[in-house]
Amino acid sequence: MVAGRGVALKALGKELHLPGVKAAVLKQQWRAVEELPKKRTVVAKLVKESRGRWAWRPRSLREIKRAEKKCGQKISSGKELMDAWNKRELLRDKASASKWYRENTSSGFGVPALSVKFPELARGWRSVLRIISGYLWTVPRLVRAKLIETQDAGCIFCGDLRGETEDHMLLHCKAWTTERELTEALAGTRPNGDSYKVALRRANEKERRGLLVWAAALLEKIEAKRQATLAPLKITRRRGRSPKDEVLLPDYHAAP
């Protein structure tokens, strides 16, 4: 299985039951501390002679003890330690994602409240939510999903060789310069820098509200023009078949 763009590696690891790097290291440290002293080889001798604060055994024991404390439970095996650490990381990631979601969608200045105040920007709010979730349908993503077909590696709207990305669409695409100026006049603001998400994170609540309205208004204005450009590129049939299937009837008058 290949994890491409738009795939959360943490979620993929969870689905495939793959431990994180830190969790896997802790398991191996536990195994080394428990098993190596029992070996009947020179390794056991090296373990016994491993002394000092920064020798591998004392250091591994400190790491294991620290991990147990952070997990908040008593550990009895390496696998149990690995599973506990994975669970801790998952909960931490969920908390971080929930905080970001609350700040941008559920708060008083979030998308639902703003979409009620600006119902005329319905399509724009839908696209803003896709940007927040990390998967706006840019041209490269449409091509990878086999929804459109184009050989142009650059931006098909302005010709930029770097191709269309979320930030390029919102901040740099020359095809939407007029719409960008009109949107700035409407919202009274525009993001600074080269990344919309970074500007959104750094903004306070009042500034974030303006940036969300700005993005929704811009995406609403350019949606129809984008769809008109993409329409001829859409794949409406299965690959390998002609648009019209011809039925060849047998010629009964032909010579045998």
Exposure string for 20-44, b = 16+ CB within 10 A, e = fewer: beebebbbebbebbeebeeeeeeee
Span 215-244, average pLDDT: 79
Which runs of consecutive H residues, i.e. helices, occur in 102-170? Answer: 111-117, 122-133, 139-144, 166-167
Distance of CA 104 to the CA centre of its chain: 16
The per-residue pLDDT for range 63-78, each reduced to its tens digit, is 889 998 988 888 888 8
What pLDDT does residue 223 have? 93
What pLDDT does residue 242 have? 40
Q: Is 226 exposed, middle or buried (0-12, 13-18, 19+ CB in 10 A)?
A: buried
The per-residue pLDDT for range 178-212, each reduced to its tens digit, is 999 999 988 888 898 889 988 888 888 888 889 99
Among 69, 95, 114, residue whose Cα is nearest residue 215: 114
What pLDDT does residue 240 have? 45
Q: Is 116 left (phi over 0), alpha (psi -120 to 50) or beta?
A: alpha
